Amino acid sequence: MAKKSKGYKDTKLEEKLKDRYFRTSESHPDFLEKVEEISKTIPHMCYQCGTCTGSCPSAPRSSYRIRYFVRRAVLGLEEEQLTDPDLWLCTTCYSCTDRCPRDIAPTDVIMACRNLAYQRGIVPVNFLKTVQAIYSSGHGVPNNDANRAARKRLGLTADPPTTHMYPEYIKGIQKILDHYKIKEQADKIVAEAEKK
Amino acid sequence: MVDITSEKNPRIGVFVCHCGTNIAGSIDVKDVVEYAKTLPNVVHAEDYQYVCSTPGQKKIEDAIKEKNLTGTVVAACSPRLHEPTFRRATQEGGLNPYRFEMANIREQNSWVHMHEKEEATAKAKDAVRIAVAKASLLQDLKPKFVDVEPAALVVGAGVAGMQAALDLANAGIKTYLIEKNPTIGGRMSQLDKTFPTLDCSQCILTPKMVEVGRNENIELMTYSEVEEVDGFIGNFSVKIRKKARGVLTPDEAEAKGIVGGGCNGCGDCEAVCPVIKPNPFEMGMKPRKAIYIYHPQVVPLIYTVDFDSCIKCGLCQTACGEKKAIDLEMQDEFVDLKVGTVVLALGYDIFPVEKKTEWGYKQFDNVVTSLEFERLICASGPTGGHLIRPSDGATPKRIGFVLCAGSRDNTGIGKPYCSRFCCMYSLKHAHQIIEKIPGAVPYIFYMDIRSFGKMYEEFYYRIQDEGAKFIRGRVSNILEDPATKNLHVYAEDTLLGRPVDVELDMVVLAAAVQPSAETEKTRRLFGVSCSQDGWLLEAHPKLNPCGTTTAGVYVAGVCQGPKDIPDTVAQAEGAASAASIPIHLGKVELEPYFAQCIEEKCAGCGMCVNLCPYQALSLVEKDGRKVMQVTEAKCKGCGTCGAYCPGGAIWMQHFTTPQIIAQIDAFLVGGEQ
Ligand SMILES: Cc1cc2nc3c(=O)[nH]c(=O)nc-3n(C[C@H](O)[C@H](O)[C@H](O)COP(=O)(O)OP(=O)(O)OC[C@H]3O[C@@H](n4cnc5c(N)ncnc54)[C@H](O)[C@@H]3O)c2cc1C
Ligand code: SF4
Ligand code: SF4
Ligand code: SF4
Ligand code: SF4
């Protein structure tokens, strides 16, 4: 259900006085099911202790609260969850997962939600640039000169034994990405974002 | 002698219970009754709303009389609770109470097949048919009575064991109280004050300790452990190991002919002993010698030599002089006791909270456990009651209390259960620092405050009012500032929805608790079960919270599960009461489910003797040949011997071969025998 407003002219005030009730009608019961199926973890066991947020290196620097994402999954708040830009602030460091006393993997809840958001085309463009980077180089973060120098200093080859060393395998990676239509979907979202 | 003839003309009555909708909701009860009427030997069948009710029982009695029944079957719930009820009703009707058989169509049927009415009804019919087949072959049995040794044993002398021993002793029962430590008192004697009344713990405990030491009916054995257990309710034989203490009591000295000798607790020995060790009573924060007492109020007031660290220099013996109390060559001794009943009060240990590495216990000096805090704040503790930071001895002003430190933790590292007293003692600790240290602020990191007891919520209110800061969030990690040794405590204030970084002088971890180290070994000796977490298992969580599945063995205090002092004492009084009943009755009834030897068939091979897990069997001479004999009071009716005997010479009462075969036939071929 749409959040009701009172029709004030001042947009700031309007936002402030918006109806903020949580109504059960907002909840998509199958959302939790989907999240649990993809994440293979048990957000419904969360007792909201906040250990995850307390552990999170992202939380003190942003409005990102991993605990809220676990909670919203439980309540089935699909729209709010998938459209929240904070969904993309997790560094996937797994600190929260290491410490959650309920043995939940909050990181994997986030990853599942990112998957679901992606299916609906809700992804920040900079993330999709990663897809394109992988497609062209086989790497999310391709090697650079500084890295090459550092590797040499450590007695390693300048390029790692990946597609950087064996570019002939890039084709295989592209095949996989094409099979799942990842590149296609990424290009589509980027194109739409650029249109706006 | 065994009578193996079975009833010639069985007449069975069947009573099918609705148990409200528990059974009738998923089983067509009427249909089951109609079916029962068609079974061989059934001369009466009816259903009733609640067969266990008074009118329900009356129906059984009446039917036995009117229809001249030889056996009864009730199709209802689990025999665990109601078998005695229906047996009594069968007896009231004029039959032997063992001519009753139960078909469990609730736990094993309606509850598990809640939404499959047709199948559940069919299964209920099977269960009734099987029960009728057995009931047709049931025999009169007579329970056995055994005499009860008029003495009780209490293992563990914390507040639970002490209370149980005092109650038993005051009820006129000779009671042995065994404690593995050199003194009684348990954990409670390590506490400073107790919530919510803030009584000084030792002040309310010492009078009880003294009473235990003085009570004529209590034989106190400290520094002792249970070594072996044999027997059964009424007749336990227990071997106690009295660990070599190296010091004689005045009584022991007198027995050795040393007039006026033995230890009087003067401490002259301690003064000269050159060995220094940490005192475990003070959580290692205070030294003790190789010859030591834990604290000045110990009962009995006798020194103990720690032979693991003693270098046998003999200085103590010289210092002791004419009292001749010290014997450095003393060996462990064994004492055999005969008791009728037993109370286990084995208490608890603190969970090794360093396993949760993120909180820095044993890494950072200023992170301590709550039990260490109790000693640090206690006037008789290592610092004379001045709370100090371990790193520099400074008085801490900002102190954090981390609740659920390892409790309510499903990761496999901590404990899944609530430790039940840490919320309350952390409130108490917060109060103590506000009271003792001007300007001190306690920060309580909590998930829930569980202040469930009488006057507990009021105590919470009071501490909140005194200025404690409550942060609703579990601590994620603690880091130390290496320069100041101050601690940064990280959590989310879940009510603000913001991560917090609270800089504190000291942090106290309310660590989870776990069963004490000796619990596992001791419970096995007594054949008592434990829950998944290792706490001793009560016979029934609601209706028999002090009993265990081993008749005659009872539990009290934290060894059964975390509980505070009021609950511990209440349970100890319950356990003492339960343990005193068989002793006051003087005899106990044993169910007649024991094995019997059919002597004509017994070849005297003796194979069964070694198979019996309860040592109930032996070979005896009879009429010039060897036959097996059952000590009925030891037999638990497990059936191992009966199933084994190649000659079929063992008769399992109430579970005879013909009865079991009839049940199998009834199931497989529908009741024809
Ligand atoms: C930091 C802290 C503060 C607390 N504060 C409070 C408070 O303020 N108020 C309150 O109500 N509760 C408090 N409690 C809880 C309280 O300590 C317990 O409720 C109480 O001590 C339980 O007593 P118990 O006799 O069951 O166990 P214990 O005190 O552990 O006693 C068990 C005894 O059995 C002995 N033993 C164990 N195994 C054997 C064996 N095999 N053979 C012989 N002897 C054996 C042990 O040596 C010990 O003496 C606190 C607990 C902690 C950790
Ligand atoms: S740490 Fe685990 S239990 Fe605690 S709030 Fe986060 S997800 Fe929930
Ligand atoms: S995995 Fe993500 S949510 Fe969890 S602590 Fe790391 S950054 Fe935060
Ligand atoms: S008593 Fe309180 S602090 Fe202790 S485990 Fe239970 S909830 Fe946590
Ligand atoms: S039935 Fe079990 S306990 Fe009884 S004598 Fe046979 S083996 Fe021993």
Hey, what are B429's tokens? 């600790």
Q: Which residue has the tokens 């049927």?
A: B109
pTM for the full model? Answer: 0.90
How remote is the CA of residue B187 from the centroid of ligand 5, in Å? 41
Rounded to an integer, what distance in angstroms lies between the CA atom of residue B611 and that of residue B444? 58
- pLDDT score at B673: 43
Name the residue in chain B with its Cα closest to that of A47: B447
Contacts 24+ apart (CB under 8 A), A75-80: A75/A22, A75/A27, A76/A26, A76/A27, A76/A28, A76/A29, A76/A30, A76/A31, A76/A32, A77/A22, A77/A26, A77/A27, A77/A28, A77/A31, A78/A28, A78/A31, A78/A116, A79/A26, A80/A26
- pLDDT score at A3: 62
How remote is the CA of residue B558 from the centroid of ligand 1, in Å? 7
Q: Which atom of ligand 1 is nearest to the CA of B564?
A: 19
- pLDDT score at B32: 98
Are residues A51 and B411, on separate chains, in Cβ contact within 8 Å? no
Rounded to an integer, what distance in angstroms lies between the CA atom of residue B546 and that of residue B57? 29
Kindly state the DSSP code that residue B269 receives in the 8-state scheme.
H
Hey, what are B335's tokens? 């004492």
CA B100 to centroid of chain Cα atoms: 32
Q: Which atom of ligand 5 is nearest to the CA of B611?
A: 7
Q: By the 8 A CB rule, do B397 and B505 touch?
A: yes
Are residues A59 and B474, on separate chains, in Cβ contact within 8 Å? no
Considering every ligand atom shown, identify the ligand nearest to the alpha carbon of residue A59 and give its number.
3
Rounded to an integer, what distance in angstroms lies between the CA atom of residue B547 and that of residue B536? 10
Name the residue in chain B with its Cα closest to that of A51: B476
- pLDDT score at A2: 53
Q: Which residue has the tokens 């007594």?
A: B526
A41, A46, A49, A65, best to mutate vs chain B, most B CBs in 10 Å: A49
pLDDT tens profile B272-285: 999 999 999 999 99
- pLDDT score at B92: 97
Hey, what are B252's tokens? 């022991």
Please name the member of B410, B490, B499 whose beta carbon is closest to the beta carbon of A102.
Answer: B410
Contacts of B521 (CB under 8 A, 6+ apart): none
Q: What residues of chain A score a pLDDT lower than 50?
A: 1
Rounded to an integer, what distance in angstroms lies between the CA atom of residue A128 and that of residue A184? 11
Q: Which residue has the tokens 């009271």?
A: B435
**Rounded average pLDDT per 10-residue block, chain B, 673 residues:** 60 97 96 97 97 97 97 95 94 97 97 96 97 96 94 98 98 98 98 97 96 98 97 94 97 92 96 97 97 96 97 96 96 98 98 98 98 97 97 98 98 98 98 98 98 97 98 98 98 98 98 97 96 96 93 97 98 98 95 93 94 91 93 89 93 94 91 48
Question: Touching check for B46 and chain A: CB below 8 Å?
Answer: no
Residues in A touching B499 (Cβ below 8 Å): 53-54, 56, 59-60
Considering every ligand atom shown, identify the ligand nearest to the alpha carbon of residue B639 and give its number.
5
- pLDDT score at A71: 98
Considering every ligand atom shown, identify the ligand nearest to the alpha carbon of residue B654 and give its number.
5
- pLDDT score at B160: 98
Residues in B touching A59 (Cβ below 8 Å): 492, 499
3-state secondary structure of B175: strand
Angle between helix A66-75 and A29-39 (nearest 10): 120
Question: Touching check for B567 and chain A: CB below 8 Å?
Answer: no
Please name the member of B404, B414, B475 whose beta carbon is closest to the beta carbon of A54.
Answer: B475
Rounded to an integer, what distance in angstroms lies between the CA atom of residue B71 and that of residue B63? 11
Rounded to an integer, what distance in angstroms lies between the CA atom of residue B100 and that of residue B70? 9
- pLDDT score at A5: 66
* Cα dihedral B207, B210, B212, B216 sign: negative
Are residues A49 and B497, on separate chains, in Cβ contact within 8 Å? no
CA B172 to centroid of chain Cα atoms: 24
How remote is the CA of residue A160 from the centroid of ligand 3, in Å? 28
What is the residue with the minimal CA distance to atom 4 of ligand 3? A96
Q: By the 8 A CB rule, do B242 and B250 touch?
A: no
Please name the member of B411, B412, B499 whose beta carbon is closest to the beta carbon of A54.
Answer: B499
How remote is the CA of residue A97 from the centroid of ligand 4, in Å? 22
If we measure between CA atoms, which residue out of B636, B38, B64 comes closest to residue B74? B64
How remote is the CA of residue A53 from the centroid of ligand 2, in Å? 8
Contacts of A146 (CB under 8 A, 6+ apart): none
Rounded to an integer, what distance in angstroms lies between the CA atom of residue B177 and that of residue B218? 7
- pLDDT score at B316: 97
In one letter, which amino acid is B337? L
Length of chain B: 673
Would strands B441-446 and B469-472 be described as parallel, antiparallel, or unpaired? parallel
**Binding site membership of B372 for ligand 1 (Cβ less than 6 Å):** no
3-state secondary structure of B367: strand
Are residues B473 and A68, on separate chains, in Cβ contact within 8 Å? no
Are residues A53 and B358, on separate chains, in Cβ contact within 8 Å? no
As beta bridge partners, residue B600 has: none
- pLDDT score at B591: 87
**Binding site membership of A46 for ligand 2 (Cβ less than 6 Å):** yes
Are residues A48 and B494, on separate chains, in Cβ contact within 8 Å? yes
- The DSSP H or E segment spanning B511 is strand B506-511
